[in-house]
């Protein structure tokens, strides 16, 4: 296979099983990452081992158990299926694999497998539409730790940039939103981040009133989220009053991006609006979509007085149009690199 390009699709990861032990192991790896909990090392260790790992694994294990399937973790098997679908489109032109930032298969193990196949040119694809330190940046660090060793030289790695504004990506979601009833309120939900991480984007305009509503999101995560939501809403023909944006998955007591998805669901429930949640920062259904949004989200909606239809719009997973988009985008990228 010398001369063949490798493509590695990278997603977040999952525990090996929904047992408390495996969830604790996964959380220990995930939350030890300084890109995720960006505190001084000693404070991060105390928070993780003194509080989080003492109480959170049991609760998280219960959540994972509610979404686990005969095939295991939805995030993992959807990503594996996507890699297979993209591989079918490339045929013998590229070798497509998948890896997880945390858990298995690791980036290092997949790189080693490709090395043994004689592949030295690898294009890495973080499956995060918007850029953030806790997602894309930590993947980049993991990639270069895995490949920058004597055994890998010469190696020619490259990394796919964020695709939050790609026309094809926007149309993928717009086509799904168009299937909804016109009287449904669409809530675009993104993974949240601590506000301090947004401030560190280096943009002096950051968090000023209206800054994220401008059409030049640069490298700010929140601005990229707002850009994605606006683009999908426009492409789907939504009226301004029929869609909104919120941020989910808050951890700890620090100030996070707002409004929170849970708070926004309560507001919409009080108005008794039918609600569809579109998880625009998740390309594969996972704990955050299937449990946090679909299960707990509906509980919040019903408890808040909502009597209308509540639904989660499924993520892209391994859908054919999503695999087509990735194939065309990556094939063009590889042709340009020749």
Could you tell me which of 269, 276, 10 has the C-alpha nearest to residue 140?
10
Residues of each annotated binding site: 191, 288
Q: Please name the fold of domain 167-312.
A: Rossmann fold (3.40.50)
- For 36, phi then psi, to 5°, come to -90, -55
Residue 32: predicted pLDDT: 97
Residues of each annotated binding site for Fe(2+): 191, 288
Determine the length of the chain: 338
What tokens does 130 get? Answer: 């918007």
Higher pLDDT, 170 or 115: 170
Residue 288: predicted pLDDT: 98
Residue 68: CB atoms within 10 A of its CB come to: 18
Taking the CA of residue 103 as centre, how many other CA atoms within 13 Å lie in the half-sphere pointing to its CB? 19
pLDDT in tens, 70-124: 999 999 999 999 999 999 999 999 999 999 999 999 999 999 999 889 898 999 9
Residue 217: predicted pLDDT: 54
pLDDT at 212 over 80: no
pLDDT at 202 over 80: no
Q: 192 burial class (0-12, 13-18, 19+ CB within 10 angstroms)?
A: buried
Residue ranges per domain, the chain?
5-162+320-337, 167-312
pLDDT in tens, 33-82: 999 999 999 999 999 999 999 999 999 999 999 999 999 999 999 999 99
Residue 153: predicted pLDDT: 60
- For 155, phi then psi, to 5°, come to -130, 145
Q: Are 250 and 263 in contact (CB under 8 A)?
A: no
3.40.1110.10, 1.20.1250.20, 3.40.50.300, 3.40.50.1400: CATH of 5-162+320-337: 3.40.50.1400
pLDDT at 216 over 70: no
Residue 89: CB atoms within 10 A of its CB come to: 17
Cα 329 to Cα 54, 90, 173, 322, 323: the distances in Å are 44, 12, 16, 11, 10
Asked whether the domain spanning 167-312 has the same topology as the one spanning 5-162+320-337, the reply is yes
Q: Are 117 and 28 in contact (CB under 8 A)?
A: no
């Amino acid at each position: 296979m010398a001369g063949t390009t490798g493509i590695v699709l990278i997603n977040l990861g999952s525990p090996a099983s929904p047992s408390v032990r495996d969830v604790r192991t996964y959380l220990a790896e995930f939350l030890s990452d300084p890109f995720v909990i960006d505190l001084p090392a000693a404070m991060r260790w105390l928070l993780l081992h003194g509080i989080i790992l003492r109480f959170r694994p049991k609760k998280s294990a219960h959540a994972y158990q509610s979404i686990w399937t005969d095939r295991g973790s939805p995030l993992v098997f959807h990503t594996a299926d996507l890699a297979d679908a993209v591989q079918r489109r490339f045929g013998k032109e590229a070798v497509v694999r998948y890896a997880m930032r945390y858990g298995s298969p690791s980036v290092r193990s997949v790189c080693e497998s490709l090395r043994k196949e004689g592949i030295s040119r690898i294009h890495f694809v973080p499956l995060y539409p918007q850029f953030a330190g806790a997602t894309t940046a930590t993947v980049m660090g993991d990639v270069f730790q895995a490949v920058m060793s004597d055994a890998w030289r010469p190696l020619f790695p490259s990394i796919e940039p964020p695709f939050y504004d790609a026309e094809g990506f926007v149309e993928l979601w717009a086509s799904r939103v168009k299937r909804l009833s016109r009287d449904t309120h669409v809530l675009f939900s993104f993974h949240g981040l601590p506000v301090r991480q947004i401030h560190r984007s280096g943009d002096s305009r950051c968090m000023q009133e209206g800054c994220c509503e401008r059409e030049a999101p640069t490298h700010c995560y929140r601005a990229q989220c707002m850009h994605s939501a606006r683009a999908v809403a426009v492409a789907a023909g939504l009226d301004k009053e029929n869609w909104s944006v919120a941020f989910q998955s808050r951890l700890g007591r620090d100030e996070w991006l707002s409004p929170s998805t849970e708070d926004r669901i309560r507001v919409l429930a009080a108005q008794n609006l039918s609600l569809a949640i579109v998880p625009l920062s998740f390309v594969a259904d996972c704990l955050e979509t299937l449990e946090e949004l679909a299960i707990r989200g509906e509980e919040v909606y019903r408890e808040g007085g909502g009597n209308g239809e509540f639904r989660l719009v499924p993520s892209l997973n391994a859908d054919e149009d999503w695999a087509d988009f990735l194939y065309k985008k990556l094939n063009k990228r590889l042709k340009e690199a020749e």
